[in-house]
Structure 1
């Protein structure tokens, strides 16, 4: 092989292998050096090893995520329909349909909790008052406002370094 042919072959190999990560390229080249007996078999040997490594990485990732435990595809539409008893159980479990108002009977841990309140559902909510803040948090909003104004006034006053 003359120098021009070598350069052309190297340029073509560079283009084909440009998107291969360096670590995979290194492993593929090691396999190609052991198995390829002609320069035309080097790039295919590298690509075969890279594809094998990528497929293995994908398999490991799927196993790690538990994807291999899932079915490969959904059943064909219409092939599996619940019967009336199963449908009734599903409605009861998720509190839908005629079971929508029976939230206490649900077995789902994701169902919203029923919290009893003294609030009247027909009366709109009101804004909190100063008495609410005093009762709930022990804070008097008017006193806090006066303290804030006093602090701002003190910060804005010129300092005297007469001492």
Structure 2
């Protein structure tokens, strides 16, 4: 059994019968959708807390979901989720817009946008496949320009 922390709550994933798993997934999806409706409803969240939340979502939650309930996602690794999210919020290759390492140089608006995008991806309100393809296209164009 795996326990995931999503939106400040712990959820068990991967135990029990198929119907129990389906029930847990539906409950998790419902919680995520509820959170999406209250997006940016953070109780005076600080800049650093937003960055921590972004890192937690992309390093722990999203890879775990990709391995368990979101097997249709095109990526599995934390750095891939981070690339896609950062490229999307920057509108291009992230390191052309944000100094490295990104987690130390995200401003509060970028961190909030990253968290919101992660939550939209998790709730499948934003298509991760499309975002991944756009990120890869930006990188292909960027490498051509630098050649």
Q: Same fold (TM over 0.5)?
A: no
Relative contact order (C-alpha < 8 Å, sep 6+): which is higher?
2
* Structure (1 or 2) with the larger CA radius of gyration: 1
What TM-score does the superposition give when structure 1 sets the normalisation length?
Answer: 0.27
Pick the structure with more helix per residue: 2
